[in-house]
Amino acid sequence: MLRTTAAVLAGKSARVATRLRGGGSALPGLVVEKVDPTFLATALANLPKGVVVVTGTNGKTTTTKMLVALLRAHGLKVFTNPTGSNFTRGVISSVLGEVSLRGTIDADIAVLELDEAHALHFAKVVKPTHALLLNVARDQLDRFAEIDYTAKLLRQLAEQTTEGVVLNRDDSFVARIESTLKPNVEVSYFGVDETIAERLGELMEQDVRSDDDFVQPLVSSGDGLLLPIDDRKFLVTFADRADGSANVGPMQMRQHGLAAMINATAATSMARRLLGDDFLPATAVSALEAVQPPFGRGEVIDVDGQELELVLVKNPAGFTVALSTYGGRPVASMVAINDNYADGRDVSWLYDVNFASLRERGVELTSGVRAYDMALRLAYDGVEVRHVEPELTSALDTFLAEHPNEPKRIFCTYTAMMALRRTLAERYDLPDIGEDAPE
């Protein structure tokens, strides 16, 4: 007990100090680990509804936010970690914001977004009761080496999970994980209705490896399937009630597009597994429709009476889906590409993305560390680029000044998005984005 209290005091002091100097979430976690290596296990050990880990290549932040909203709407007290702290030490820093001196958290359940590799490190300290595994795609290969390695990380996390796992039935890397799980772990799936399966396959073709040996799991009664009604409205269907009363929707969220709908389907499927008979479809609809997009993930900012959308892109699958979602309606567009550590150093993945949807209007400006590389890549696809400005703030100033009276959109990698979002927050009184980029 004394060691835990000492760790809490030391960690809170480090947390205050790092915030005062504008640092990230690594140092407080490191301090706590040095003082009490069992701190995280102690803090999360006795939550009545357990610990849920959300991980995968794309959609972690959005799906976690949706799942938290669903559970809170059903009356649960939920502890979660903010964006930017999805490494183990970042989780510790988040815990420090809510933990008592005795090392306990006043919550019913923890829902944690975790980086694929660090989810496994976390599981060595705290065994998750549930895991929601979203997808495997080419992402930051200079960190994770290859797609099969990322799939291995997710499989090993699932093997550490004690009660239930929700898997993506449309991703062969994720769906096949069921065969490796302990017999007492309950498994269900989320995915898309067969009516849009072909469209999903076309979008993801460049990043999902052809696997002739893979047999997609049959749909069971507890599986949630996405059924779009149009480009904004959709249902999440469940087959265990023939009258359709288990279905969630129709609904229309504030975040647009197929990717957001898939994330909502994943979150709804996990919420239903966790809540069981207490899950209420009408409550779920209200919760999802009220969720604000996480910053940079399709977030819409009012800039002098016009919409500016920030769209995070970090790999071929994500950029392809983003272009499908946002690229169809021509608006003034900017692309900001950095190659810092949190973005991934290797940006050759841009050549796996088809930018044809941007030809009609062209791109007003490219920016970031790889501004000229991005302009060259767009030229290969016949997309006109009118300006190249590597410095992000100058690029933003030009972009806003030249298009004051029309909607605008910026596709950006992670650190470019963080920098642009901070500048916009200073100018337009936006909510704080919280922790710095992951350590």
Residues with catalytic roles: 346
Structure letter (DSSP) for residue 431: P
> Which is it for the CA torsion 79, 80, 85, 87, positive or negative?
positive
Distance CA 421, CA 340 (A): 17
Six-digit token pair at 203?
A: 């979008």
- Which residues, including other chains, have CB under 8 Å from residue 253's CB and lie 6 or more apart? 260, 261, 264, 288, 289, 291
CB-CB contact of 55 with 137 (8 Å) = no
First to last CA, the chain: 29
In the chain, % helix, strand, coil (3-state, to 5) comes to 45, 20, 40
**Angle 387-391-393 from CA coordinates, rounded to 5°:** 95
Distance CA 188, CA 3 (A): 40
Cα separations (Å) of 111 from 115, 196, 244, 263? 13, 29, 29, 15
Length of the chain: 439
SS (H, E, C) 338-364: CCCCCCCCCCHHHHHCCCHHHCCCCEE
- Which residues, including other chains, have CB under 8 Å from residue 392's CB and lie 6 or more apart? 336, 367, 368, 416, 419, 420, 423
Largest CA distance in the chain: 65
The string over 74-93, giving b where at least 16 C-beta atoms fall within 10 Å of a residue's C-beta and e elsewhere, is: bebebbbbbbbbbbbbbbbb
CB-CB contact of 190 with 169 (8 Å) = yes
The string over 289-326, giving b where at least 16 C-beta atoms fall within 10 Å of a residue's C-beta and e elsewhere, is: eebebbbbbbbbbebeebebbbbbbbbbbbbbbbbbbb
Distance CA 389, CA 400 (A): 13
